[in-house]
Amino acid sequence: MNSTAERLLERAEEIIRTHGYSGLSFRTLADDIGIKSASVHYHFPTKTHLGVAVASRYQARFARALEQIARSGQPAQAQLQRFVDIYGSELRAGNNRLTICMMLAAEKDSLPEEVNHCVTSFYQLNLDWLESVLQQQADPQPAQRAKQILALLQGAVLGAKTLTCSDYFDAAEAAVLQLVGGVAEPTPN
CATH assignment of the domain containing 114:
1.10.357.10
Enclosing domain of residue 169:
4-181
pLDDT value of residue 188: 52
Q: What's the rounded Cα separation, in Å, for the pair 189 and 7? A: 30
Instruction: Read off the pTM.
Output: 0.88
CB atoms within 10 A of CB 114: 14
When divided into structural domains, the chain yields a total of 1
Domain assignment present for 62 = yes
Average pLDDT of the residues in 30-59:
96
Tens digit of pLDDT for each residue in 76-134?
A: 999 999 999 998 888 887 666 788 889 999 999 999 999 999 999 999 999 999 999 99
Domain assignment present for 128 = yes
Q: What's the rounded Cα separation, in Å, for the pair 157 and 137? A: 26
Domain assignment present for 188 = no
Can you spell out the DSSP letters for 58-83? Answer: HHHHHHHHHHHHHHT---HHHHHHHH
Type and span of the H or E element at 153: helix 142-163
